[in-house]
Amino acid sequence: MNLEAKRLSSVTELPNAHNISSYSGFLTVNKKLNNNLFFWFFPALNNDKTAPVILWLQGGPGCSSMLGLFTEMGPFKLDDKLNLVANKYSWSQNYSVLYIDSPVGTGFSYTTDAMGFATNEQNVAEDLYNALQQFFKLFAEYKNNEFYVTGESYAGKYVPAIGFKLHQMSATSGINFKGISIGNGWIDPLSMLDVGSYLYQTGLIDKTQLNHFYDIQNKTAVDIKQNKYREAFDLFDQLLGGDVTSESYFTKVTGFHYYLNILQSNEPKGADDFAKFLNLNTTQEAIHVGCTAYSSTNTTVFTSLTEDEFSSVKPWFTTLIDNYKVLIYSGQLDIIVATTLTENFLQSLEWKHSKEYSKANRLVWKLDKGDTEVTGYVKRVANFTEVIVRNAGHMVPTDQPRAALSMIDNFIRDLPFE
């Protein structure tokens, strides 16, 4: 039965796919609610059957992991005519990569019951865990391979959630879980609120505007401490997010309509072209999703997790950093989860190597010894690696694909950053 299901999930009719083998389809993760998660799996291009398996999760909440596949680390990208072109810096070169549209309702994933949408990270983790159990039954030959959970942005919540679930179920999961990687991740809002100082130090706001940021940040912190997560969301949305507010204070005073890269005040053109490709009939037939309207973002998923946005996964993250390999990386040019916010979070952590981390030297990282330009900065303590990537915004693999590939290689294979 598994062999037949695997055969049916094989992607064989994708135009110009460069002979890249892949599998896609739906995993029913909750029969009662009819929750179905869409997956697209790419075995390692080097044909190494023992290569580590990487799960990639996008953020949002409500952003499809197809964004990562087509614009970050997938085996191919799209040209301006929506033709597939090979990505020479794909993580699939040396690893088998699994992309899942999560939570339910994101991308191609769907439910037919309004109760199927996740309202907290426990819901997210439960559906993902069920998906992984089914995936490793379908692809049992990969079950003993090392397994890493990775993601960026709001997946700073998802990754620790499913990671902690795997930790809890380690005796029975049958999954060889080794660690996590998070890029520009929203993990612990209380320690990650001070975006105002970053904006002031980079010249985007003045002292008066900084004081307004401080005022709202402090009020948001009070709400978080009182578990008033909806109120915290509303305050910060008016200040910076602009997801519900028509014009955030940030947009009003800076003129920026984009907060993923400090060098860009508007979203780059063509950023959502992959959605056009995924809405083509030929694409949808090839990846077994029937005929459906695909969107790269889902507002229902976003709205359902509104109160989750300012809750924390810090306790789960702490358990993971105490027991597994962890990589935290930041694009130096990001605004929404600026490098300094991640630094504040890491400094606030109490884990078994906290003292060593606080005293650890940060090294200058160059991809090649002869490079004149600095790639970034690295700090390593025990099983933990922190990387800051220069000339990259919120999506590091998009902006610096070669550096991102080298980084994930060094992390998984325990290689030095040189």
Using only the alpha carbons of the chain, give its radius of gyration.
Answer: 21
Catalytic residue among 127, 234, 273, 334: 334
Whether residue 288 lies in the annotated active site: no
Evaluate whether 98 touches 53 at the Cβ level (below 8 Å): yes
User: Which residues have a Cβ under 8 Å from the Cβ of 147 and sit 6 or more positions away?
Assistant: 52, 53, 54, 55, 175, 176, 177, 178
Angle at which helix 121-138 crosses helix 155-168, to 10 degrees, equals 60
Sign of CA dihedral 148, 155, 82, 401: negative
Structure tokens that stand for 8 in this block:
């049916």
Catalytic residue among 9, 223, 394, 399: 394
Angle at which helix 2-9 crosses helix 121-138, to 10 degrees, equals 100
Whether residue 334 lies in the annotated active site: yes
Straight-line distance from the first to the last Cα atom of the chain, in angstroms, rounded to the nearest whole number: 47
Catalytic residue among 153, 304, 311, 406: 153
Among the listed residues 286, 283, 274, the one whose alpha carbon sits nearest the alpha carbon of residue 58: 274
Whether residue 18 lies in the annotated active site: no
**What single string gives the DSSP state of each residue in 243-272?**
SSSSS-HHHHHH--S--S-TT-SSPPTTTT
Q: Write out the catalytic residue numbers.
A: 153, 334, 394
